[in-house]
Amino acid sequence: MRKRTVALAAAATTLLAACGGDDGGQQAGADGEIAGDITVLTNRTDIVDTVFADYKAAFEEEHPDVTVTFEAITDYEGEVTTRMSTADYGDVLLIPNTIAPADLPDFFEPLGPVDELAETYRFVRGEQAYDGQSYGIAITGNVQGIVYNKTVWEEAGVTEIPTSPDEFLDALGAIADATDAVPLYTNYADGWPLTQWEGHRGTISADPEAANLLAETDSPWAEGEEHFVIDSLLFDAVAAGLTEPDPITTNWEESKGMLGRGEVASMVLGSWAITQMRDAADDPDDIGYMPFPHQVDGTFHSTAGGDYKNGINVNSDNKAAARAWLDWFADESGYATDQGGLSPRLDGPTPDTLADFEELGVEYVELAPAEPGAESLVNDIDAEAEIGLWNPDYRQRIVDAARGASGETKEQVFDDLNARWAEARAAVVGT
Amino acid sequence: MGITTGPPAGPASGVRQALRRGRAGSRVGTRAARTAPRVGPDGRRRRRVELTPYLFLLVPVGLLVTFTYVPVMNMVGYSFTDWNGISKDRDVVGLANYARIFGGPEYFEVFFVSLYYFAASFVQMGLALYFATVLSFSTRFRNLFKGILFFPYLINGVAIGFTFLYFFRPGGTLDTTLAALGLEALTTQWLGNPDVINVSLAGTSVWRYTGLNFVLFLGAIQSINPHLYEAAELDGANRWDQFRWIILPSIKPVVTLSFILAVSGSLAVFEIPYVMTGGANGSETFVIQTIGLAFEMRPRRVGLASAMAVVLLLFVLLITWIQRKVVPDEKVNLT
């Protein structure tokens, strides 16, 4: 098994070298030899000295000529994007989320044609790809849903998983009546947990094209549209007083323990959060995971997407060794499964964190890539409109409106968002 | 003459002698420059002498240029582009970013928040002036109080942010204190209530910066000649009269300086609201808005954010200039 993968990695490297040769830009290390020192950047400051140290030992045993050094960075996005203005940003690194697809070739080594990699790996089609080339392999994959405390939900007499937003709100109401728990915790103050709601693009329509279709509509917040459904649920829950009383003083780290102790009943978060919640709970079995309360043709759906992707610095001196690490990390390290995520490999195992989803028969939706040339269209419209779909501000505004702090109604907020989107779309597509 | 006031030349090492020669020479030189042909040393010496002050300036000016002027120039450059902060190529878009900022009210609405901090800065200066005056007279535990008042300024702004986050949260220190005093009726969501949040945050800012104002005022007050108080007392002036007619006029330049700092400070409020609320719930300031565009938008809009930073810089310069016109620098003269 191990030998075979080595052979595979070697084959892949040769292929890469060959590709480079075609372009006349032969630069894939010294004869593509897997040797030398490589630096790997990671955001996992918590496990860099434990789990990653084991990875290093296992990898170096296979490739004795390679020495791996880790650099764990707390403010990963901020620091790495700054360092990217130099050539010194490690050999293998997690591609920052803020890199626009069109900028990928300037900073990262192509890993191979998307069509080829897609035979082995998930999440390579739509993410970190440009012009038919893939630039990153996911370290793990996430699906989207709601973490909840099973005991609290049972105490409130809710035993069926809600299948519609109304049922979900009723369930939250029952929790508010029957228990002392906060039915739905938004984590408003930390901000980024609110961006998790955006991950449900595709969950509502069960359409892989959901994200791309945003570029073709003037009113993403019109009734029945994905953003209408997602944001309405948030708005209605807050308006009904089913969220924390003072959103401005929430605290992410505390919220984990609160869910575990049953002081919070549910939170909308990606599947990556399940392991963390279990670790913080007295009884890990209390933590359950349910899909977004919406069904298409009687089936739940959940958007599956890659987490950070490992990419190779285009300035690396030891690209072959870097590639070997990248492949080894995706194929053999077992990182994804250990962290409770979907394996980046199509034939990878399903983690036990998603047992609840298996039971409910949730179908995963992997978002399709945009048409060539339109890769950054949705982002461009979003930036031009200054809505910031992936920014906390946008959903903080919805929460503020819902709790009556800003004096806006749901219609006013949605109308304003639609108007700005339409105007920005005209400006971006029109030019 | 400079040379006569110099140290007497005695038996010393060559280096020291050289140093002395240089020092003496510089005096000769500067004077020579002013009263041209009177001393007239040889040309080579004169040139080296004239360079000396500039050599001393080289390091600070070098640092200033490297870390202030060059980045500001770059920023002005970025403000005419659509750069996203990462990309290797950027398009020049001319004045489009500026047109966008001045095209609608949404970018300036946030200045309304600055008014809270501006109002708070008067409270802050008032408190600082009060404490500085009281503690400039002999008071028991004077140094202890000085320490207590200045202490908040020494604490890191992020730590203050977190401390006050716990202070203001429901059931936090403030609520508990009010409850202990029987004032539960006053409790509200100090940060959750959109009408109160900016007052809470501005209050935090007052707590933090009063110490700095206090030290500035105290220093100025202590430089006043004590004979003036004695004379005033003989003339029958009470403490208030002394404050009004001696202290206040003497420290006027420092008060003016504090006022200028308060105005530009309240336009550029950042740290406390950013740490505590991230600009949520109507506490967003101009700088937070700029940061959001530059680093949090996906894709980032560094070009637009740079233009906003330039606009803010121009505002601060403009207001300072107006202030200098309205309140000109005066020499304090109490005699």
Q: Give pLDDT tens digits for A297-326.
A: 999 999 999 999 999 999 999 999 999 999
- pLDDT band at residue B6 using 50, 70 and 90 as cut-offs: very low
Residues of B in contact with A98 (CB under 8 A): 85-86, 298-300
Q: Could you give the count of Cα atoms lying within 13 Å of A154 in the half-sphere of its Cβ?
A: 6
| Every domain of chain A and the residues it spans | 2-138+308-361, 142-304+372-430
The H-or-E segment that residue A299 falls in is strand A299-306
Ranges of H-type helices in B277-328:
286-291, 302-326
CB of A246 within 8 Å of a chain B CB? The answer is yes
Q: pLDDT of B315-330, one tens digit each? A: 988 988 887 787 766 6
Q: Which of B87, B169, B282 sits opposite A103 (nearest CB)?
A: B87
Distance CA B77, CA B71 (A): 10
Angle at A46 between CA A40 and CA A48, to 5 degrees: 30
Distance CA B76, CA B71 (A): 9
**Mean pLDDT calculated for residue range A73-89:** 90
Two tokens, residue B26: 């510089």
Which residue ranges form the domains of chain B, and what is each CATH number? Answer: 2-78 (no CATH), 109-284 (1.10.3720.10)
Contact A249 B84 (CB under 8 A): no
Which residue in chain B is spatially nearest to A384 when comparing CA positions? Answer: B301
Q: pLDDT of B65-87, one tens digit each? A: 999 999 999 999 999 998 888 88
Tell me the shortest Cα–Cα distance from A97 to chain B, in angstroms: 8
Distance CA B63, CA B69 (A): 9
Contact A368, A168 (CB under 8 A): no
Distance CA A9, CA A425 (A): 44
Residues of A in contact with B88 (CB under 8 A): 103, 106
Q: What does chain B come to in residues?
A: 335
Interface test with B, best of A248, A314, A381, A408 (most B CBs within 10 A): A248
Contact A98 B168 (CB under 8 A): no
Q: Which of A78, A98, A393 sits opposite B292 (nearest CB)?
A: A393
Contact A246, B192 (CB under 8 A): yes
Q: Which of A84, A248, A406 sits opposite B192 (nearest CB)?
A: A248
Contact B278 A392 (CB under 8 A): yes
- pLDDT band at residue A431 using 50, 70 and 90 as cut-offs: low
Distance CA A17, CA A4 (A): 20
Which pairing describes strands A309-312 and A137-138: parallel, antiparallel, or unpaired?
A: antiparallel
pLDDT at A214 over 90: yes
Distance CA A237, CA A292 (A): 14
- pLDDT band at residue B46 using 50, 70 and 90 as cut-offs: low
Distance CA A235, CA A241 (A): 10
**Mean pLDDT calculated for residue range B250-278:** 88
Q: pLDDT of A151-170, one tens digit each? A: 999 999 998 999 999 999 99
- Output phi, psi for A309, to 5 deg: -110, 140
Contact B192 A247 (CB under 8 A): yes
Q: What distance, in Å, lies between the first and last C-alpha atoms of chain B?
A: 32
Contact B280 A396 (CB under 8 A): yes
Residues of A in contact with B85 (CB under 8 A): 81, 98
Q: Which of A249, A392, A393 sits opposite B165 (nearest CB)?
A: A249
Tell me the shortest Cα–Cα distance from B197 to chain A, in angstroms: 10
Contact B119, B174 (CB under 8 A): no
Two tokens, residue A121: 């790996």
- pLDDT band at residue A371 using 50, 70 and 90 as cut-offs: confident
Q: So what's the pLDDT on residue A237?
A: 96
C-alpha of A171 from chain center: 27
Residue position matching structure tokens 């950027």: B90
Distance CA A10, CA A4 (A): 10
What is the sign, positive or negative, of the torsion defined by CA atoms of A363, A366, A371, A375? positive
**Mean pLDDT calculated for residue range A82-109:** 91
Distance CA A252, CA A158 (A): 26
Return all residues near B316 (Cβ < 8 A) that are at least 6 apart: B264, B267, B268
Two tokens, residue A408: 């806006």
Crossing angle of helices A377-385 and A410-430, in 10° steps, is: 120
Q: pLDDT of A164-201, one tens digit each? A: 999 999 999 999 999 999 999 999 998 889 999 999 99
Interface A-B, measured as beta-carbon pairs within 8 A, has a size of 94
Gyration radius from chain A CA atoms: 22
Two tokens, residue B324: 């200098």
- pLDDT band at residue B122 using 50, 70 and 90 as cut-offs: very high
Q: Which amino acid is located at B214 in the chain?
A: F
Q: pLDDT of A22-59, one tens digit each? A: 333 333 444 578 889 999 999 988 889 999 999 999 99
Which CATH number does the domain A2-138+308-361 belong to among 2.60.40.420, 3.40.605.10, 3.40.190.10, 3.90.1150.10? 3.40.190.10
Average pLDDT value over all residues in chain B: 82
pLDDT at A242 over 50: yes
Two tokens, residue A105: 């070739």
Return all residues near B65 (Cβ < 8 A) that are at least 6 apart: none
What's the topology of domain A142-304+372-430? Answer: D-Maltodextrin-Binding Protein; domain 2 (3.40.190)
Residue position matching structure tokens 């935090």: B204
Tell me the shortest Cα–Cα distance from B249 to chain A, in angstroms: 44
Two tokens, residue B87: 């990309």
Residues of A in contact with B280 (CB under 8 A): 188-189, 191, 248, 392-393, 396, 400
Please give the residue that has the higher pLDDT: either A44 or B40. A44
Distance CA B117, CA B205 (A): 8
Q: Could you give the count of Cα atoms lying within 13 Å of A391 in the half-sphere of its Cβ?
A: 24
Residues of A in contact with B172 (CB under 8 A): 249
